[in-house]
Amino acid sequence: MLGPGLIAATAGDDPGGIATYSSVGAKYGYGFLWVMVVVAVSLAVVQEMSARMGAVTGKGFSDLVRERFGIHWTALVMLSLFVANLVLIVSEFAGMGAAAELFGIPRWPAIAVMAVLLWWLVVKGNYARLEFVFLLMTLVFLGYPIAAVLAKPDWLEVGRQLVTPSFQLTGDYLVLFVATVGTTISPYMQLYLQSAVAEKGASAEDVTRERIDAYTGAIFSVGIAATIIIATGATLFVQHIEVNSAEDAAQALAPLAGRFASYLFGVGLFGAAVLAAAILPLTTTYSITEAIGFERGVSRTFSEAPVFVGLYTGLIAFGALVAMIPGIDVIRLLIVSYVVNGVLLPIELVTMVRLVNDRTVMGKHVNGLGRNVLAYGTVGGVSLLSLVYLAITILGLFGIGPGT
């Protein structure tokens, strides 16, 4: 029953996400846990709509956008997606190299070997095998709950913070609040989910199964994020140690929660980078080939889908090669990506809700009143936060930031 929903949601816990959750835990302890409860509901709503559209229509998001809204709107969405994902692909390979260095493995060989393995897995495999491997990759994330237990948190306080909303009107808090929501609900996750559901051959009769998969994925992904906050909140927050990256968090955990916890954090970071580095190029390839009407699918050979295979190969090669450049400023690249994603996310969510309520597309499987209340609430809230984050990021590029 588990598949695209679990894979897509877990891919969102990438190195950038792990860095955000670690920063949140180190700076505010357990104070953000209530946010994760709200985010879990929002992610579940968005994931479920994507999975339902993939099952009912048998088409990816780009296919439906082109058919219902025309080529100009499709071109806008695809251009934004391509730019954002291209930068993110580089950052995932860079994160993979940084995670390898935590275990004494040089970054260049690690990036090169994993790029070749990921290319071979997709180009030479089929969908069933790919889904199985991706599901296996999600198991590395179980290291984070173990690391959280090893950190010996105050579980009563954890429970209290989960159900007690709190908010601080400071610049740092606002930035991390928006970043936490934004990194958990990323456009590429939903696009991959819908395309994967369609490719695996799901139909309208499978909606319940795909819905369970989507909900399970949302709960698992946000649960992992929460345990990262708990692990860093129980150790780094208490010691007043701030972190600027996921690698900092892994190294800082060693003297506080033990070397084993640090290794678990590092393994989770490496696995997160590998999974995201596979999903991002695949999502981009799915979306672009769907938008222009070319054959696509991981079960197809090069002769059957030359554009699909060629584009995937190019994206993997580009991401790996750029990540190997000495002194590359990954943080600046991520800023560019966040700006583009900040523009894309509201566009994608509004388009998604319009499609899922279109009876010519979904038939009897359109949203009901309850789902529409949750959907429009999610779209409004996430879009507003996305635009706030976009404004903060752009102001930051000019050296202007909110006061703390």
What does the pLDDT read at residue 63? 87
Residue 222 reports pLDDT greater than 90: yes
Q: What pLDDT band is residue 111 in, cutting at 50, 70 and 90?
A: very high
Q: Crossing angle for the helix pair 33-57 and 187-199, nearest 10 degrees?
A: 30
Query: Quick one: average pLDDT of 261-290?
Result: 83
How many CA atoms within 13 Å lie on the side-chain side of 21?
30
Residue 335 lies in a domain: yes
Predicted pLDDT at 40: 92
Mean per-residue pLDDT, 185-200 = 85
Q: Does residue 242 belong to any structural domain of this protein?
A: yes
- Write down the mean pLDDT value for the chain: 83
- Residue 42 belongs to some domain of the structure: yes
Span 98-104, mean pLDDT? Answer: 82
Can you give the pLDDT at residue 305? 80
Q: Residue 203: is its pLDDT beyond 50? A: yes
Task: Report if residue 43 sits inside a domain.
Answer: yes
What is the DSSP secondary-structure string of 246-311? HHHHHHHHHHHH-HHHHHHHHHHHHHHHHHHHHHHHHHHHHHHHHHHT----TTS-TTT-HHHHHH
Q: How many domains does the chain have?
A: 1
Average pLDDT of the segment spanning 247-274: 74
Please, is 382 exposed, middle or buried when counting C-beta atoms within 10 Å of its C-beta (0-12, 13-18, 19+)?
A: buried
Confidence class for position 404, pLDDT limits 50, 70, 90: very low
Dihedral pair phi/psi, residue 298, rounded to 5°: -70, -15
Answer yes or no: is pLDDT of 85 > 70: yes
E strand or H helix at 39, and its extent? helix 33-57
Average pLDDT over residues 94-110: 85
- Mind listing the pLDDT tens digit for each residue in 364-390? 999 888 888 988 888 888 778 777 776
**Domain assignment present for 403:** no
- Residue 402 falls inside a structural domain: no
pLDDT at 328 over 80: no
Does residue 315 surpass a pLDDT of 90? yes
- The terminus-to-terminus CA distance of the chain in angstroms comes to 46
In this predicted structure, the answer to whether residue 175 has a pLDDT above a threshold of 80 is no
302 vs 96, more confident: 96
Spell 228-237 as b/e; 16+ CB within 10 A means b. bbbbbbbbbb
For 234, the 3-state DSSP assignment is helix
Q: Which residue did the predictor score with more confidence, 252 or 136?
A: 136
pLDDT for residue 51? 93
The CATH number of whichever domain residue 180 belongs to comes to 1.20.1740.10
- 214 or 291: which leads in pLDDT: 214
Task: Name the DSSP letter for residue 237.
Answer: I
Encode 23-61: b = buried (16+ Cβ within 10 Å), e = exposed.
bbbbbbbbbbbbbbeebbebbbbbbbbbbbbbbbbebbb
Domain that holds residue 97: 4-397
Residue 225: per-residue pLDDT: 92
Instruction: Please state, in angstroms and rounded to a whole number, the distance separating the CA atoms of residues 177 and 172.
Output: 8
Q: What is the pLDDT of residues 14-60, one digit of tens each?
A: 887 888 888 889 899 999 999 999 989 989 999 999 999 999 998 88
Residue 401 pLDDT grade (very low, low, confident, very high; cuts 50, 70, 90): low
Does pLDDT of 329 surpass 70? no
Question: What pLDDT does residue 62 have?
Answer: 87
- Domain for residue 250, yes or no? yes
Average pLDDT over residues 249-269: 72
